[in-house]
Amino acid sequence: MTVLEQIAARVTGGCRITLADRHAAVDAIVDTIACIVAGKDDMATRAILTARPPAGGPCATPHGHATPSDAALLNGVAAHALDFDDNFGPGMSHASAVMVPALIAVGQAVGATGRQLVDAYLAGLEAQALVGQGVRPHHYTAGWHGTSTVAPIGSAAGAALLAGADVVQAMSLATSTACGPKGQFGTSAKPFHAGVAARNATEAALFAKAGLQGRTDILERPQGFGELFGAGVHATWTIEEGPHVIGIEGLSPKLHPCCGSTHNAIDMIHDLRHTHGFGPDDVEHVEVAVALANYRNLAFPDPQDEMEARFSMQYCLARALHQDVLYLADFTPEATQAPHIRALLPRIAMVLLPEEEQKAALKAAHRMTLRLKDGRCFEASRSHARGTILDPLTEAQRRAKFTDCTGRADVYERLLALDDLPDLSLIGDIIGARMLLPA
């Protein structure tokens, strides 16, 4: 069997799914729906809307109904526009920002139930992890955006299940769409990556159903995905039995609406502030050491707009010195120019971890040294952010984030019953804003 055939066999029945896995999938879908609503008026979403306004169809977007392809594109951009959507380490991707828009689009087109949507999500997530396995982490460190490369291939598996298409062929076709340089980070092209990936996954499933075909060995063959995207490291895949990835490595829903590469440091600032009781005016200097991929992601020490601010370690830590949680309101053109925040930027430095530390672990812990004006010096280290499976968000934090994104906490409870919904009309109403009007 080829690698794609092995992946398809696992995600279509060869992987045991627990009730906890299903609950985690529902949480991820609900989180992403909130991000779509929050990102509906972002400049990136508006640009897509101007160039390609919804022209009618079975699929809901925040700005009208559209075809499955156009709905996946627009909702994918909205989901990732504010960088508030989850991270997924095994796929090196923003897994849900690609997969949820694609699955909702296909699901609405074919009349899927909530349970079928959750099944497809779990299949697509496992497929993303298995595709990423062969090239992780070199693919991402080299500069490829896994959201644009790995995510559409795995997401196509879930979309194919909903569409009744051949899973292997859908993934093979999606492999031919893989692209996306991380050099675009800090611009509106980054959420465009997620939207295009969602559209590509949707179309790969629909085209496969119509009979379009690709090679089944496209991951491992010469001039295939592994050889071209492996960053010079030999790609290998080992598809084994075992629990679903969502229960082992899990997703990382975000507590803060900014690049995940800042989150370990934000959490370290939080812990140090609460332990030692200092304020922003007490701080003389902060230095945080990160791995190469994280360093490259955060290219804006002096951000000039809200998109650059999301990819600025200096800006995010300046905010974290003032508050426990970063909010959507902290990433506006006005907020980025706040004098009390900009005054702190020169006091914050980001450096690279020693190479030997980076090589010693798949995901090296970030380290921080914080010096106060009174001479005291504190050190911290953190290998995972709040929201990961090792330090999950509380139900209260999830609810608060949903409310911050949508303004309607009451809709949250209804979405948690997703597994029992007979159709996806509730999701369509929420994304289409009909459920978000004042009660």
Burial of 12 from C-beta contacts in 10 A (0-12 / 13-18 / 19+) = middle
Answer yes or no: is 437 within a domain: no
- 251 and 275 in a common domain: no
Query: Smallest Cα–Cα separation from 68: which of 77, 60, 81, 59?
Result: 59
The reply to whether 300 and 226 lie within a common domain is no
What are the pLDDT digits (tens) for 187-219?
A: 999 999 999 999 999 999 999 999 999 999 999
CATH number reported for the structural domain that contains residue 377 in this entry? 3.30.1330.120
Average pLDDT of the chain, as a whole number: 95
Q: What is the pTM of this model?
A: 0.94
Residue 330 lies in a domain: yes
**pLDDT at residue 38, as a whole number:** 96
Looking at the domain assignment, is residue 388 inside a domain? no
Domain match, 375 and 250 both:
no
Same-domain status, 230 and 266: no
Q: Which residues contact 173 (CB under 8 A, 6 or more apart)?
A: 156, 204, 207, 208, 212, 213, 214
Last residue of a domain, one of 362, 382, 402: 382
Tell me: do 378 and 403 sit in the same domain.
no
- Residue 149 burial (CB < 10 Å; 0-12/13-18/19+)? buried
**Structural domain total, the chain:** 2
Quick one: 139 and 61 in the same domain? yes
Residues of the chain with pLDDT under 50: 436-439
Main-chain phi, psi angles of 241, to 5 degrees: -75, 160
Last residue of one domain, picked from the residues 342, 358, 382: 382
CA distance 362 to 265: 18
Question: What residues contact residue 228 under an 8 Å CB cut-off, 6+ apart?
Answer: none
Residue 145: give its domain's CATH number: 1.10.4100.10
What's the pLDDT at 359? 80
| Angstrom distance (rounded) from CA 132 to CA 29 | 21
Give the whole-angstrom CA distance, residue 286 versus residue 301. Answer: 13
336 and 243 assigned to the same domain? no
CA quadruple 332, 337, 338, 343: dihedral sign: positive
Q: Is residue 438 part of a domain?
A: no
Residues 295 and 417 in one domain: no
Instruction: Determine the pLDDT at residue 434.
Output: 60
The verdict on 265 and 405 lying in the same domain is no
Phi/psi region, residue 38 (left: phi>0; alpha: psi -120 to 50; beta: rest), is alpha
Q: What tokens does 219 get?
A: 């991951």
Q: Say whether both 313 and 412 belong to one domain.
A: no
Decide if 387 is inside a domain.
no
Q: Which of 363, 382, 401 is the last residue of a domain?
A: 382
On whether both 251 and 315 belong to a single domain, the answer is no
Q: Which of 106, 303, 333 is nearest to 202 (CA)?
A: 106
Give the structural domain span for 8.
3-255+393-431
Asked if 252 and 87 count as a contact pair (C-beta separation under 8 A), the reply is yes
Do 309 and 165 fall into the same domain? Answer: no
Cis amide prior to 137 (ω within 30 degrees): yes
Give a yes or no: residue 50 inside a domain.
Answer: yes
Amino acid 257: pLDDT: 96
Angle at 166 between CA 161 and CA 167, to 5 degrees: 60
CA dihedral 239, 245, 248, 251 (to 10 degrees): 140
Assigned domain for 307 exists: yes
What is the pLDDT at residue 356?
86
For residue 212, is it within any domain? yes
> Mind spelling out the 3-state secondary structure of the chain?
CCHHHHHHHHHCCCCCCCHHHHHHHHHHHHHHHHHHHHCCCCHHHHHHHHHCCCCCCCEEECCEEECHHHHHHHHHHHHHHCCCCCEEHHHCECHHHHHHHHHHHHHHHHCCCHHHHHHHHHHHHHHHHHHHHCCCCHHHHCCECHHHHHHHHHHHHHHHHHHCCCHHHHHHHHHCCCCCEHHHCCCCHHHHHHHHHHHHHHHHHHHHHCCCCCCCCCCCCCCCHHHHHCCCCCCCCCCCCCCCHHHHCCCECCCCCCCHHHHHHHHHHHHHHHHHCCCHHHEEEEEEEECHHHHHHCCCCCCCCHHHHHCCHHHHHHHHCCCCCCCHHHCCHHHHCCHHHHCCHHHEEEEECCHHHHHCCCCCCEEEEEEECCCCEEEEEECCCCCCCCCCCCHHHHHHHHHHHHCCCHHHHHHCCHHHCCCCHHHHHHHCCCCCCCC
* Dihedral over Cα of 215, 221, 226, 229: its sign: negative
